Chains A and B, each alone.
Chain A
Amino acid sequence: MTTENIGVQLLCKHCNDPVIGAPYTYKEESFCCLGCKTVYEVLDQNNLCDYYNLADNPGFSLKSKSKEQYEYLDEQIIIDRLTRPISPQLSLVVLQLPQIHCSSCVWLLEKLYRFHDGIFASKVDFLRKEVEIRYNPSIISLRKIVEILDSIGYKPLIELEEHADKGYDEKLKIRIGVAGFAFGNIMLFSFPEYLGLEDPYFRLWFGYLNLVLSLPVVFYSGFEYIRLAWYSLKYKSYDINIPLALGILVMFFTSIYQVTTGTGAGYIDSLAGLVFFLLIGKWYQQRSYHYLSFERDYKSYFPISTTRITKGKMAEISIENIAEGDELLIKNNQIIPVDGVLTSDNTSIDYSFVTGEEVPVVVLQGEKIFAGGKLKDRTMTMVASRKVKNSYLVSLWNDAAFHRNSDAYQTLTDRLSRYFTLAILLVASAGFVYWYPKSFDNAITSFTSVLIVACPCAIALTGPFLYGNLLRLLSRRGIFLRNAQVVDKAAGIDHVVFDKTGTVTTQLEKELYYHGKHLSQEERSLVHALAFQSVHPLSSAIEKNLRQEEILEVTNYEEVEGKGTSCICRGKLVKMGSASFTGAEPSPSGETRVYISIDGKVLGYFIFKNQYRDGFKAVVSNFTAAGKSISLLSGDNDKEKSRLIELLGEGIDMQFNHDPHQKMQYIQQLQSGSTVAMIGDGLNDSGALKQSDLGIVVTEGTNNFTPASDIIFRAEKFTSLPDFFDLSKKAHWIIGGAYIIAILYNVIGLSYAVEAALSPVVAAILMPLSSLTIVIYTVSASALLVRWKMPKYEDLK
């Protein structure tokens, strides 16, 4: 079967997508869908069409977006949790708008006051993808504001859960500020010492002044290192903080001793510099994508509230308050919040988030329904059979396996620092033993000098700057890492598990094949006219495939749930659906078939096949070449197995009919022998994602729901997966190089130190110089590595 291509490509005024079929028009502009047209109308009525002139592609497609219900936003409890009242006439609300992506968005969203008099001002935070709105709650309700945003295409992501770590950033900045202040002044007051001025007054005064200035450095800015070192000693998980704290403390106490006895100026400048550089490294590494959440769980997917019917009266209740036996009302496109039993007529439910299968399932009255499904039919009623937290899907999150302590993971730096600490202690003791018989003073000086100069400043800086830079460069390539440790973890992976549906198959399209009698132009128009009537995914797929210039009018349209649709068009009865519905011979195959018949005559059927992502084969063979084992998990039946073997060859462990729990157990089994990365997409594999050593989510857009994971991969970057793993391994080379530089500096420093001849000037030059070299080296080496492994670079927003 062939599809005609339309010659002239018309682009939608709003979203710039090509217009397929007859365009929607408004004021001589063309649009691809009703949603895009509506947004344009709203903007036009408010004289805000400059939106389209400010950036190349400001609008985003609104196809397949469903209208949401915002009634729950009238609930006082919800208003209280989302908004902050300042006075009776002024309230403040911060809403997350994941669609913010260009300068036009900022422009439009800061013009919200033009839409309604009750809105005073709005301010966008681009990186957080948030808008802060000041409004008068006595004139405009929160619900109305959200509806305005929705009508112009920005659908707020409303979550009642507070995501933590917003104030942390501020503290770090203050720490850096204090350390920088002290460092600068201490350097200034150390000048007499550097220049060799022997004035005793200067020495005394400046010495004490420096000591005073070092107090906030040790006890505020750098105290975190001492505290963490203490913990790591206590829990015997030796990490990089121990040599750092040792260095800080030795420098501090040596300086106090030297200044108070008048024997020297101490190493206060080096101390302040060390803390300052370390904090800057920490800040550089601490990059967060405020708009991406790596900690999402079912709560952000489930609705906030639902409608309960008590004695015929309806009331909105928070889903946490649903009790067993409550009667609930669910509207079209709403998500079922709790397991229960259907009490109204037969209906269909889309369980794509639970099973990965996007064709809605028909549920009969009295049958069980599960939380996480989306209603794809008229309003239904159900009786809850459990509480939300005991529902099948939710119970996955409460599994004990999920509460593993991920902080216990030791990076390469931490593992190496143990040997480092041991080595410098050995060198220091050797110097002490060598000097002890000759001069006790020199023995002490030698011992402390070694600890000071060998302080692993360079090693401690490598990780933050390397991983921080990788995080930044990869995010521009559509790969978002939860934190720096992830790169290190990825290097150790030897088994990769793919989830089939939605991960290696595209979520958006299915391949469509037609079998049967050749369709004439008229027959195609008739079938198309019928398919156009329904929003069922299979209907829309057929509609897209047969797209006609002109849509015929139909009468007597009927949709029989779970069976098919029919209508009268040009006097002919057109039917589309299951074999029994259209009167065709039922076939035993497991394929998804949609039969068509006109006037009772069966013409043929459409088959739907999953479309695999481009380059899936290459990704798998790259992984195999890199010596990684591969598994494929699926919640579906094994009807695609032969096709997969044909595509990928033998040697891949394929598991079908796995429910979310079995997927998790499968990962658990693998982990007894290997380090496992799980590549998945949705709720149905979130258990496996969390259980695995490295959870990777492949998503069509960062606006989508992304479950808890370590890495979020943009779908168009799917083929870069092997490159990413390769890159994470190569990152160890860079670390190795940095250690060689650090060792070179240490050898120079130590040669002064063991001779007990380390002057403060040498220390003051050597320490910042080594830090600087390391920073420049790691940042440029990591940039080269990324450019080498992933040369393609486009600024993905």
Chain B
Amino acid sequence: MKIIFVLIALSLLLAVGFLISFLWAVKTGQFKDDYTPSIRILHDDNHSISKKQN
């Protein structure tokens, strides 16, 4: 049964890893705008490719 302590230590470590990545995501502003990307992804960039003329 001693293996359970190792496993728990590992699971906690994993959870801490997720917590840190969440904090990083918040800090880098990934939750700042959760709406615009949903519009942006629908834009097709293929039509009207013709370059700016000047």
The chain A residues found within 8 Å of chain B, CB to CB, are: 46-50, 54, 103, 106-107, 110, 114, 124-128, 170, 173-174, 177-178, 181, 184-185, 188-189, 205, 209
Contact = CB atoms under 8 A, between A and B. Distances in A.
Contact of A177 (B12, B22, B43): B22
Nearest to B27: A170
Contacts of A177: 19, 22-23, 26
A125 B36 contact: yes
A185 B39 contact: no
10 contacts: A47-B48, A126-B36, A127-B33, A128-B33, A170-B31, A181-B19, A184-B15, A185-B12, A205-B5, A209-B8
Given A50-B47, A107-B43, A177-B19, 13 more contacts: A47-B50, A47-B52, A54-B43, A110-B40, A124-B36, A126-B36, A170-B27, A173-B31, A177-B22, A177-B26, A178-B19, A181-B16, A205-B5
A178 B18 CA distance: 11
A154 to B, nearest CB: 15
B43 A103 contact: yes
A103 B43 CA distance: 8
A82 B19 CA distance: 35
Interface residues of B, number: 25
A182 to B, nearest CB: 9
Given A103-B39, A127-B36, A174-B23, A181 B52 contact: no
Nearest to B4: A202
A114 B52 contact: yes
Nearest to B9: A209
Contacts of B50: 47
B33 A126 contact: yes
Contacts of B39: 103, 106, 126
Contacts of B32: 125
Contacts of B48: 47-50
A174 B32 CA distance: 13
B6 interface: no
Nearest first, the 6 A-B pairs at minimum CB distance are A126-B36, A181-B19, A103-B39, A125-B33, A177-B22, A50-B48
B33 A181 contact: no
A128 B33 CA distance: 8
Nearest to B40: A106
A185 B47 contact: no
A106 B41 CA distance: 11
Nearest to A110: B40
Interface in B25-54: 26-27, 31-33, 35-36, 39-40, 42-43, 47-48, 50, 52
A48 B11 CA distance: 53
Contacts of B26: 170, 173-174, 177
Contacts of B18: 181
A185 B15 contact: yes
Nearest to A107: B43
Nearest to B11: A188
Contacts of A106: 36, 39-40, 43
Nearest to B43: A107
A103 B42 contact: yes
Contacts of B43: 54, 103, 106-107
Nearest to A205: B5
Contacts of B11: 185, 188
B24 to A, nearest CB: 11
A50 B22 CA distance: 38
A396 B18 CA distance: 53
Contacts of A205: 5
A50 B48 CA distance: 7
Contacts of B40: 106, 110
A127 B52 CA distance: 30
A505 to B, nearest CB: 36
A372 to B, nearest CB: 35
Given A125-B33, A170-B27, A177-B22, A46 B12 contact: no
Nearest to A115: B52
Contacts of A209: 8, 12
A790 to B, nearest CB: 24
A106 B50 CA distance: 20
Nearest to A170: B26
A127 B27 contact: no
A253 to B, nearest CB: 24
A46 B27 contact: no
B45 to A, nearest CB: 9
A46 B33 contact: no
Contacts of A110: 40
Contacts of A188: 11
Contacts of A126: 33, 35-36, 39
Contacts of B19: 177-178, 181
A557 B32 CA distance: 56
Nearest to A290: B33
A205 B8 CA distance: 11
A124 B38 CA distance: 12
A749 B35 CA distance: 42
A126 B5 CA distance: 49
Nearest to B38: A126
A47 B47 CA distance: 10
Contacts of A178: 19
Contacts of B8: 189, 209
A628 B19 CA distance: 53
